Structure 1
């Protein structure tokens, strides 16, 4: 919403009602931190453009946003200047984004304009629901670039330079992680980082260390899942010579190696019971006992733990101690999985690709000199990456990017080998991203076939409004379509005898009568009442 746009009184939900010029009520969140529709470049023929963004907050204020080859500009958060799409295959005839029905965004393409497809289906006039925007809708524009239509924080449009804390991306989820790090970095509170495998938990721990008072002191990273359980205590807390078979000398341990700095314990849920007891003692007293030792040693270590396990479930199963969880989670940070931050995918892919291209001497792939050349990252591949579920998250994306770049070495565009193609097909995300509930395509009733009409009516239990929305035609037009279909009747054409007989057979169950007679539920209920009958489910 424009800062100078119309503003009215708040509703109980904290949402302002703004009237557009057309008189249609648009619900606009009043908070400056509200989410607004945005377009993010996932892929572009100039691959370095990935990650640039255009906020569509003007749509929330009731105004159209016309997107063409020459404008408006896509800008990276924290940068003062941006660039238009500029691709010669994108038409000067604009793609127009405008307010749709409540909570929806309408997309229109003028005649002769750029081809836009959603789920491989061309669209010229359609609306996107709020649910679809929340999930992210991939738009294939001219077969040359991919835009993700999604929701973004308004403050990402701020031109103030942003400290990324070493983390790529500008999604709401990753912004929230940065805010958590900035709040906790200068404190000595233990931190528990939660997140799926491959989401970058160690990167968060490093950022906390680097932006806190222990910067420049030791940062020790330990994966408890990789240490044999019988050696874990000695590895962490140290051991005196002779404490166990094979202990031929004193062992310092990771806690003492991290003295004055930060100790990062990854996969803390894998800690053996005796290690959990010793960890709890360190957190409560600031002292540790080496294995085989009787004299406590004072420690000055900031502890950051991480897990991809459900520790609460481990506690119920007796595998983890509740007091230890309470001590470890002095402050919790949750890392979002990649599937929840898809708008970051283009920027992340570009970053990992840049690393590999620099290594093999082909960095020129990201900035082609020929504006008419085929994009190095084909739109079909970019869409596959968007639809993939990424069970391995950022780590998996890095590995797949490396495989693509090296496997396509010397080729003008990236190519998928059969093995990698199979991997990307094996785990496709379900829901709106894979199949957006977005294509509410506007059509003429004459374009609707009889089979489509009947299928839509049956799918929505003869609710004419829902069926019309499904078909992309106005509700008023569906009556004409029904009248022209030889095998579809209106409730008004049914005889009193036919309705009464069906009422008896269905024991007055209105839904059953609708399925039997295949007519509008509302209209049938009205006829039933006119006949002095009562119906269940009315």
Structure 2
């Protein structure tokens, strides 16, 4: 039963990454065997959003699951710790129940979640649950858990190996993808091998290039960054390799060129796929001989530059179309590093958001928002907004996240909580959410008809939450007429109806949830249809 949890995982290799010649295969083998027991895959809970925003990124390894034991999670324990640190703290939010949530191993790598009677309200991927079994596919994709409308966790799989304290190389995040990038940088930083960094736009390719430079022997020399896509093609050769006066029309002075400006240091060429054909030929010569010819020059100049290139283009497709030279790709890719897109590292989004938010809050003098003194205060980043950020696909990656964070923080300046205006809401709705594996369809189950007097209050509340406050679905699940469920709701002391909510409460919830009706239903716990009618009556829908 526990085989899926206890098997070791080999870190995925970048399919396009050639090994370093200097690496000794036997040493790698010894290292991998020594680390095998530490690379055990276990379920992990990562804090994505918490009323104390600085806690984003803390993790709880559910190691007991691998040993066949249950793991109980409550307000008071166990402790969440930041990767690389020894000591941590429990969730501690007063709205999270002392009555624990219980995680237990299931068959075939499944994981069960059970919510105690009267315990914490749990929303799993936008569905209220009292119990749930997650498939290995769901765990691999990551499951969002919202606790009491205040704390957001990602339940996912990861290595049980803890990161040793040390340099993060200037990169925020602890996902497997970003850890592999750090490992690549550490392997290659002290070598002279050219590096090709691949990744979508906005994934931080220049940041990786700077980390390679700063952790290598050239860190005391220049780091020159050049975007080839921003240089006019007719000037690219002169800008890179220099030019003699009079070499072409408009060359009224000697040009040093970026290669000579980076002498002894590192030259970073972004969007290298945009290099014109003549520049490709000149780049290939520099890489093969270490010499360059300035435009209009006839005497070679020796260079001592480490070249790091980056692209978001498919260079192999460019080669097939005759737009890029295959020998140049082979020379540039002395070692390749692939940067994962943000949608593949969702466990890092909370930490990245907090990092960017801190920068903006410090600039406007509101850094105290991240560490509120009142534990009962409404979270500065609401759970509903956090979930919305985490389910977004981020086509612009980290650059887009940083820009949106800045707009959120500045747009909410002076407000106690972050406000999502209609324009930003539209941006988040512009592309679909991160795709999740489809849940297997459950076979329809016939529910025996029963009298409404047989339904207990806890049973009623559980059914309403399980069916997201759809009264018809809840009544069908309970086996009672829909008309009877209204009477039961009226008699239940802890269930409200949308008609009894004040206009002020509805307006405040509408503002905090950014107008998201589903999020409002989860927070207010009332019928979705009835709440929608109230919103229309109040002019909010």
TM-score range, shorter chain: 0.7 to 0.9
How far did residue 66 of structure 1 move?
Answer: 0.3
Aligned counterpart for 2:108 among listed residues 77, 82, 102: 102
Judged with a 3 Å threshold, the aligned counterparts in structure 2 of structure 1 residues 11 and 198 are, in CA distance, closer, same or farther, namely closer
1:360 matched to which residue of 2? 364
Find the aligned partners of 1:214 and 1:232 in 2 and give their Cα distance.
Answer: 25
CA contact (8 A) 1:128 1:439 kept: no
1:325 matched to which residue of 2? 329
Give the gaps of 5 or more residues in structure 2: 11-34, 451-465, 468-475, 480-541
Q: Deviations over 1:28-78 (max 9, x none)?
A: x97421332100000000001101000112101101110000000000111
- Superposition map of 1:74-85 within 5 A: 74-85=80-91
- Superposition map of 1:162-241 within 5 A: 162-241=166-245
Aligned counterpart for 1:63 among listed residues 62, 69, 72: 69
2:52 aligned with 1:46: yes
Find the aligned partners of 1:447 and 1:203 in 2 and give their Cα distance.
Answer: 61
1:446 matched to which residue of 2? 447
Aligned counterpart for 2:404 among listed residues 396, 400, 404: 400
Find the aligned partners of 1:333 and 1:437 in 2 and give their Cα distance.
Answer: 34
Q: Deviations over 1:481-537 (max 9, x none)?
A: 9xx9xxxxxxxxxxxxxxxxxxxxxxxxxxxxxxxxxxxxxxxxxxxxxxxxxxxxx
1:342 matched to which residue of 2? 346
Question: Which protein shows a greater Rg?
Answer: 1
Judged with a 3 Å threshold, the aligned counterparts in structure 2 of structure 1 residues 149 and 185 are, in CA distance, closer, same or farther, namely same
Find the aligned partners of 2:240 and 2:400 in 1 and give their Cα distance.
Answer: 29
2:280 aligned with 1:279: no
Instruction: Give the secondary structure class of the aligned counterpart of 1:305.
Output: strand
- When normalised by structure 2's length, the TM-score is 0.76
Aligned counterpart for 2:154 among listed residues 148, 169, 174: 148
CA contact (8 A) 2:7 2:40 kept: no
- Superposition map of 1:435-514 within 5 A: 437=439, 446=447
Give the gaps of 5 or more residues in structure 1: 1-5, 15-28, 450-470, 473-480, 485-538
Find the aligned partners of 1:228 and 1:94 in 2 and give their Cα distance.
Answer: 62
RMSD between aligned residues: 2.7
* Count, aligned residues: 429
Find the aligned partners of 2:434 and 2:85 in 1 and give their Cα distance.
Answer: 34
How far did residue 284 of structure 1 move?
Answer: 0.3
How far did residue 445 of structure 1 move?
Answer: 6.2
How far did residue 195 of structure 1 move?
Answer: 0.2
CA contact (8 A) 2:125 2:143 kept: no
CA contact (8 A) 2:7 2:41 kept: no
Judged with a 3 Å threshold, the aligned counterparts in structure 2 of structure 1 residues 302 and 121 are, in CA distance, closer, same or farther, namely same
CA contact (8 A) 1:44 1:144 kept: yes
Find the aligned partners of 1:342 and 1:445 in 2 and give their Cα distance.
Answer: 39
Find the aligned partners of 1:185 and 1:120 in 2 and give their Cα distance.
Answer: 43
1:36 matched to which residue of 2? 42
Q: Deviations over 1:72-101 (max 9, x none)?
A: 000011111111000000000000111012
Q: Deviations over 1:303-327 (max 9, x none)?
A: 0000000000000000000000000
Judged with a 3 Å threshold, the aligned counterparts in structure 2 of structure 1 residues 13 and 355 are, in CA distance, closer, same or farther, namely closer
How far did residue 446 of structure 1 move?
Answer: 3.4
Find the aligned partners of 1:174 and 1:448 in 2 and give their Cα distance.
Answer: 54
Aligned counterpart for 2:319 among listed residues 312, 315, 326: 315
Q: Deviations over 1:393-452 (max 9, x none)?
A: 0000000000000000011110110010010011123421xx7639989x9963899xxx
Judged with a 3 Å threshold, the aligned counterparts in structure 2 of structure 1 residues 439 and 347 are, in CA distance, closer, same or farther, namely farther
2:267 aligned with 1:266: no
- When normalised by structure 1's length, the TM-score is 0.76
2:121 matched to which residue of 1? 115
